[in-house]
Chain A
């Protein structure tokens, strides 16, 4: 069957190439049109309870795309006219930024921050610094005093040391274009930035704006990685085919994948370039294996016109099974990620499954077909021959597998598996460190974030809703307001929560103001009637939208907004657990609490989804792998055997992530899933070659020697080339990409090592039937492996 396919492909090679070229041309037209952007809503598991709450209330209680701008004064305090003028300019300018929710711009210079005062007519509110700046020293002093005595301003919007003030602005989730917002906000801020002030900006639109900002650099890195890959292949393989065909395989599958995905309406996330690189490295690997096998075959063929065709056919036929198996295993393991309810991961899964599947055409078929066209297959382009060096490594691998050392290898592997498997449980779900894991700790964004969180209550928010649908004035109940207050007290005990705000904070101020400013009345009313009238007073002096942060229009639902100083997985988990603890300990008579909106709310949802799906993803990916191997080799032992390198590479990589504090989050999950399939490719080539050699009548020692010196050579070449080129990513300004590059290098390194050193030992010691045939079966005589000439 396989030979027939090989025969057909080589026989009809012109037609094959013509069809593939035409398809590539058509798909490249679509590929060029693929959209590169981050769509926020794709990151949310829409069926999760928290996300539902978020979607329902985000327009009133605040979305997850909040941007916080901090103005720090360099000398003195913020009460300087020039400084406040800058704050005012930016506050007013923000209304022009695209996708801004104009009702959610809050700063000293907005209408929103105001003071509640008793007056002869009852009660009045006056904006602190709207519409005009303080005109003279007296007004400035009055402003300062007004700020200092207002607990909803002094602390939340003006820092305790009076040296910094905040502007917060919310965006409309569905309209927000991160790149645009980033540019517009930065341009606005640049207008007022000078030596007297330090301006810091954080928020998800800014964070993803930075990612977009680094796309050109990322493209340069891709180019550099490609250049390094190709030049190393050139040096090591010493032929043009060894450079151009892997390049061709990579390019063709990229074009196909991007083209098909554009047709399916899937866009390309800048952050998943890493995944694209990972898949392209598979294309290069497979292609190099085939070129390598072709070269091996050539050595055994006398120089002649037919040699290239024959060698190509043998390479295609021999490597069809391990190549296809590798590709299918990769694709199937990756497909498991689609079970995740996060749309971004589902789309990414489609992209990568399509991409990996195209390797069957671009690498497994196209490469040998192109090889068959080669006229003068013998000879090399340059004289530098590193092969002897590499062969020493391979000899060492052979020695390890066939000497007594093999038992030590297996023993060590078991220990490594056990220890790293145990250590891997330290892997953190969600972000492991403060600041964004996407950027380096010293990146401007993370420094800004740390500075804001140090001076203020916290830039990231979560809202929890308490309400009863359809029950008007529910929030006015004394029981509910008291519960909100207790809830806030309880949650604020967590050090990472800098503060919280709800209507239960505002009503006591109104109450006190109505009682001549007597602080003994700074408390919630005892009855629904009292609270209702306090709320009515507040309502009568509020502008439309002022109360939005606190209650909905019918007072059926109220929000408690919690401010977080960091967004670490641990912080969010603790907060959510404590919210639930509070709710369980303080049941409401009617109505209910609903978790949880805002950025931290949706992050909690994403983390919970990833956590609950994590074992599912790893287990099902392994299962898929075992089943595929079992089916292909018609042996359950095969499934077991190939789990060895996968488990080693995954436990070690997870341990590395745990050790380096790389958390499992929405960005790392796809890389991890791809890594499961990735760990096994090399092992397929080696084991399959051993099987072939045994079937052809070799002794086990000979077969292992052959396999390591042919397929093993391909493994050494591709692994070393790809490890060096993925390590280039360490230079990325995006920490996420740098770490994923490192992770991929480690993955490639470990799977290459386990394929070269562990697998042969395991095969040699355990002698699985699917490789060695039925026990004591006479080995086929008369036919010998092709490479025995040396």
Chain B
């Protein structure tokens, strides 16, 4: 560079010989020198190490699933009597809704899908489901115990409904002619009838000893001695009956596939078909004491309803755009809970689905 300037033969004045800044003190200088010669290599080494060995990995967070998932099916619902509502369904889930609307998952102890749930009181409850699972609670749902030595079929063991009555009585129905009874809050079970290739879909317990059962192919059974002897009655249709309910010893309604509604006024001895005008499957029927009406649920968001005489039926959908099926309708103080592909409350006009 200087040669370049010389090359150009420039006339310049000599520069001052020293910097105006004082030089650093000798000891500090040595320290500085050592530092300045070490630090660069440390940095180079550090960069090399970082470049070759630091490989950040993706760190993602997690999300806890909500209590009610949209994939859940809730086949059964119960009112334990203390303002709570229980729903039982997919993969053994039991959800309890408190009076303030908050939802919590109860530890059912099973992963089998539960088909129905019932409660004697706020403490004692029972749920039944696939593969012959029967679970009971005696502490308001905090813990559930699986009943042992439940009679099983070698073929199929889905238990579809459970009905309870005073004194710890319970009757469970299901596949392969399962008709089981317990008198001790669900601890021990016995068969009421032999195994046969029919699915019993529902039972109604009337008074102390009467049981009325409906099932596949329009079959109806009656017992007046708590299940010791049975009488078969003929229904006017061959379609499967899915649910039965009685509002007193004599007046009852059964519903089934293809929109079938059967009415009895003599304790189930004789049945006549009521006309609803629909052909969608009906899956549940209940007597709404507060509303003095029959209320049924089915597929495609259907509801059916009739006054106490069950003569004239009105039909509709809980929501024009929610065509979910419901296997359970549970009247509760003028409103009704529907459980199925979705859970919600229906007040006769508005459908309020639970959990979004």
Contacts and interface: CB of A to CB of B under 8 A. Distances in A.
A489 B40 contact: no
B349 interface: no
Given A519-B325, A623-B47, A636 B37 contact: yes
A523 B113 contact: yes
Contacts of A786: 5, 8, 10, 12
B55 A616 contact: yes
B19 interface: yes
16 contacts: A145-B323, A161-B321, A517-B299, A518-B257, A523-B113, A578-B63, A615-B51, A619-B54, A626-B44, A630-B40, A639-B44, A696-B15, A699-B18, A699-B19, A699-B20, A779-B15
Interface in A126-153: 145, 148-149, 151
Contact of B63 (A495, A519, A785, A788): A495
A576 B58 contact: yes
A135 B201 CA distance: 40
A697 B48 CA distance: 38
B47 A626 contact: yes
Report the interface size class on chain B.
35 or more
Contacts of B154: none
A492 B58 contact: no
A493 B64 contact: yes
A82 interface: no
Contacts of B17: 778-779, 781
Interface string B82-115: 0000000010000000000000000000000101
B240 interface: yes
Contacts of B19: 699-700, 767
A577 to B, nearest CB: 3
Of the listed residues B47, B48, B341, the one surrounded by the most CB atoms of chain A closer than 10 A to its CB is B47
Given A145-B300, A604-B58, A701-B20, 7 more contacts: A310-B7, A493-B65, A517-B299, A637-B36, A699-B19, A781-B15, A789-B12
Given A636-B40, A640-B39, A786-B10, A607 B58 contact: yes
A361 to B, nearest CB: 22
Given A574-B61, A622-B47, A696-B2, A615 B8 contact: no
Interface in B3-17: 3-8, 10, 12-17
A145 B300 CA distance: 9
Given A145-B323, A492-B69, A696-B1, A788 B50 contact: no
Interface of A: 3, 145, 148-149, 151, 154, 160-162, 297, 300-301, 310, 314, 317-318, 429, 485, 488-490, 492-495, 516-520, 522-523, 526, 573-578, 581, 604, 607-608, 611-616, 619-620, 622-623, 626-627, 630, 636-637, 639-640, 643, 692, 695-702, 767, 775-776, 778-786, 788-789
Interface stretch (B70-78, B222-230, B303-311): B70-78
A690 to B, nearest CB: 12
A613 B48 CA distance: 13
B131 interface: yes
B257 A516 contact: yes
Given A489-B65, A615-B50, A637-B40, A162 B321 contact: yes
Interface string B52-63: 101111111111
B58 A620 contact: no
Given A517-B257, A578-B63, A699 B16 contact: yes
Contacts of B16: 699
Contacts of A692: 1
Of the listed residues A301, A574, A613, the one surrounded by the most CB atoms of chain B closer than 10 A to its CB is A574
Interface of B: 1-8, 10, 12-21, 23, 29, 36-37, 39-41, 43-44, 47-48, 50-52, 54-66, 69-71, 73, 75, 90, 113, 115, 130-131, 158, 160, 240, 242, 257, 281, 283, 299-300, 321, 323, 325, 327, 340-341
B327 A519 contact: yes
Contacts of B3: 3
A640 B50 contact: no
B211 to A, nearest CB: 21
A573 B60 contact: yes
Contacts of B48: 619-620, 623
Contact of A520 (B18, B50, B62, B327): B327
A699 B21 CA distance: 10
Contacts of B44: 623, 626-627, 630, 636, 639
Contacts of A767: 19, 21
- Rank and list the top 6 A-B pairs by shortest CB-CB distance, nearest first: A577-B60, A784-B12, A636-B40, A619-B51, A493-B65, A620-B51
A350 to B, nearest CB: 21
B194 to A, nearest CB: 23
A488 B18 CA distance: 78
Contact of B59 (A162, A522, A577, A702): A577
A696 B4 CA distance: 10
A699 B43 contact: no
Contacts of B327: 519-520
Given A615-B51, A695-B1, A522 B240 contact: no
Contacts of B64: 493
A789 B10 CA distance: 9
A698 B15 CA distance: 5
Given A616-B51, A619-B50, A702 B15 contact: yes
A775 B44 CA distance: 25
A460 to B, nearest CB: 17
A785 B5 contact: yes
A696 B6 CA distance: 10
A696 B13 CA distance: 11
B154 to A, nearest CB: 14
Of the listed residues A520, A623, A692, the one surrounded by the most CB atoms of chain B closer than 10 A to its CB is A520
Nearest to B70: A492
A516 B71 CA distance: 22
Contacts of A613: 55
A267 B184 CA distance: 81
A489 B5 contact: no
Contact of B58 (A297, A490, A611): A611
A611 to B, nearest CB: 5
Contact of A518 (B37, B63, B281, B323): B281
Contacts of A784: 5, 10, 12-15
Contacts of A639: 40, 43-44
B174 to A, nearest CB: 10
B51 A636 contact: no
Nearest to B69: A489
B62 A577 contact: yes
Contact of B12 (A162, A301, A310, A788): A788
A788 B13 contact: yes
Contacts of B2: 695-697, 780, 783
Nearest to B281: A517
A427 to B, nearest CB: 12
Contact of A615 (B41, B56, B160): B56
Nearest to A496: B63
A91 B39 CA distance: 67
Given A615-B56, A640-B39, A520 B4 contact: no
A783 B6 contact: yes
Contact of A519 (B18, B57, B341): B341
A370 B70 CA distance: 74
Contacts of A149: 299-300, 323
Contacts of A317: 1, 4
A643 B37 CA distance: 15
A509 B65 CA distance: 24
Nearest to A314: B4
A619 B47 contact: yes
B136 to A, nearest CB: 21
B8 A314 contact: yes
A61 B39 CA distance: 55
B59 A573 contact: yes
B15 A697 contact: yes
